[in-house]
Structure 1
């Protein structure tokens, strides 16, 4: 019986580009198909078994951790600054008590990270509305607006009238941890049924990551053609992101999940279960 194609979710935002830029999908012709979507769509597609493996929001892993395994050495993380996830505000952060916050409808992790920062760390009571990621429209309806990804980069470059707060910088200020915004996950059933192909695909994405960081000028040229901006910004941007998934990053993500459960954003304590390419099994750690 012929196996189904492995459906791989591709995050279309620029922050994920190094992981996909040199991935040769033709090498896996007839075996792999790429599904290109924004993070919120990828989260939904993975939960509904419409994709098998790929990048999803870290928060979405927390919601479905019993069904997924985490692929090692792949994430989108940032320590101190992420430069593409901003809260734009009409007034200083500390003065947002009672404010209305407009949230982008493209995010999973960041919207809940903002809730943690405002409620847990700053003790603010605010209300939230969800909007398409258009800053001008969001700010007509709210006191502040959260944007992620390409929309956040462009808005930060073109709009200087608002206060702008980098969410990775806020998280680091209050916790000392890097923030892992997105992870690579695979559905457990797929990890068992297509282990050999998954090993090859995982290795190919690691190769893309490593080559992209070595040949970053090619990535920057591509993204400048698409979004504009100065080369210096894009080199700083990509070099400031972390694409591994180290023990330190996992510790920070565990703390994020613990706070999300404390605030009622997650129903359960989340376990991080890492897929092991050599044996196809998982190494699981529980939150304490």
Structure 2
């Protein structure tokens, strides 16, 4: 058990599967109290029961559709009322649909912006006064290497993650002097159900299969860095190195990596 996390209340969005599920498990295993939110009531209930019986800790859960701003706002208010202070927020929920902009439909675009950006802003904005009042806490935003290096068929998704990174970096400078930690987690492809919606054809998932990250390992690393000063967590490291090169010489990288960028 990690004394740094013992008894801490950690709100996790998108907690019913994938990285979110493992974040909850690792948080509970270290003595924290995971507060789960997602759309699937059945999965949340099962997750909560499993965590409580396995680790002997409370694990409250709240059904919420993060694409519905009014519903999400009410849910956060309810969490604050019922749970009291929240010590950490992990904005993990995210969706994608990979398509050329010209072929996209507005419903997909709107949902990506709503879940990936608006809901993250909403949760942070509502919980920030509580964290500042406590004088300590941690906000972790699950971003993406796509927020540093965009590729074809992910224009909107990459734009949402650029927004998350910009928001995270500015927020960090605002609140670190006041005792809060803010971290972005920039990931490459992760082996979750994310791609079933992002690319139903399965072609992209097959193309990047060998480089996919293990969600359990990702979650373990994120939880281990909670309540420590950590600007970014970048996985895999080689992909982050590529992003740094891209920032210096974008035209050259786009030319050299043309075929790889077209894998979606």
TM-score (normalised: structure 2)? 0.29
Greater fraction helix: 2
Identify the structure with bigger relative contact order (alpha carbons < 8 Å, sequence gap 6+).
Answer: 1
TM-score (normalised: structure 1)? 0.28
